Every structure is written in C-alpha cells, then in structure tokens.
Amino acid sequence: MLPWPLTTSIELAQVLRPGGHLRPDSALRTLREHELAAEPISVVPRAGRGANGHVVWYSSLMLDVVRLLRVGDEPTARAMHRSATALAGQRATHAVAEILIRAGPDPDPAALDTETGGAFTRLALLTASAREQHRSELGVETFVGRVADVAGRVAFVVDDHGRTLPIPAPSSSPRPWTPLVSVDTELLTGGSHHDLGASRIRRRYRSECESSGPSPSPQRG
C-alpha cells in the first residue's frame, strides 16, 4: 500500500497537537518559525467563466515533518522537509491537485491514476520512498488490515495476524464496506496511542483496487 501523497493544514494541526485544538494557521505559523515552512500546492477552481476561491494542499511528507518537530528531532524534520518541498514543486503534483478538485470529497485512487496518466501513483511512490529513508526515526507503526465490522461510529480493522484496531468510521461511504485500509499509529507520552488522521478517516478510507499492473494504488492511511 502506498501513502496518500497530499494533505491539508487541518491534518497538519491534528498531528502537531494530537487530541488538542490547534488552528491550521497556527500550525503553519509554527512551521515557519522553525524555518520549516510548508510549500503550498495551490489550485484555483473554475466555476463557469470565473475563478472560485482557491484550494491548498501540501505534500503529505509534511505530516512527518510536524511529527518530528513535535518530538524534537529537528535534523530529521529538516531532511524530510527538503523532500516535501521538492515534491510540492513538481508539475505532476499540481496536476494531481487540480484533478482532485473535480474528483469530489471521496476520490477513487484508480480513477485518479487513470486521469493523471499514472502521475498519481508516481507521486505516491516518491512519497513512500522518502518516508522509507527515515522510517526508523518516525516513531510510527503502520497497521494494515480489512474492515471486519462497523458499529455506530467505530470501524474494526483486522490484520492478517488477527489483531484488531478500532478507529472512527466515516459517516457515509459511496462504496461497499470491504476496504483494505492503512492506519498510522503513534505511541504518545504516557502510553496512549494516536491514530493519525483518525478524525478525518472518511477521506482516508480507500477500497482495495483491482490492478492489471504491478504498481499498487495509493491508499489513505
């Protein structure tokens, strides 16, 4: 499974202050104060003949940057920041961002990859490669499994070893509930676990896509 390559300032704030309430602009300001400014991937949606505001994404590597900054590992945060900035500046990244606007709130990775001519998966592969270089420093465990049951607002993910992880469930889904999901979890001070991005899990669930090629499809996680 490949990581979803883009993120938002809301998610950056959630990772910078797990379980707390931090404004997205405050999270961005904190990054700037540490000379780790998030490079914006800004797209102006078109409605009819004119522009309609703008939408801003960031490389999802910035989630690792804020996590590393929070735990005090600035050297690794700076190395990851260089990779995030490089990815944010690529033309393919902006092409993916533009298509995401038209794809709606719950886009299908396979369809996105087709529409972008494979750019979506290539961007995810580059993101995964950058993360793997610093895997040991991230302090994150990735839990991969299938949704076995949903009870109210809780989904139960079971991995191949039979372990179960409860996570917040999306309020609705346009596809059947048979997804393969990936959830990054972090052990916080005091022994509690933080499911990264769990409050926005509806946008992070992705059904396992049938693929005729060798490249896996990016998954929210």
Tokens of 16: 């910078």
3-state secondary structure of 201: helix
What are the sequence ranges of the domains in the chain?
2-219
- CA-CA distance, 151 to 161, in Å (whole number)? 22
Tokens of 42: 């800004």
In the chain, the largest separation of any two C-alpha atoms, in whole Å, equals 54
Of 97, 100, 98, the closest CA to residue 108 belongs to: 100
**Per residue in 20-67, pLDDT tens?**
889 999 999 999 999 999 999 998 776 655 545 678 999 999 999 999
Query: What pTM, to 2 d.p., does this model score?
Result: 0.75
**Per residue in 73-88, pLDDT tens?**
999 999 999 999 999 9
Angle between helices 119-133 and 91-103 (to 10 degrees): 120
Q: Is 20 exposed, middle or buried (0-12, 13-18, 19+ CB in 10 A)?
A: exposed
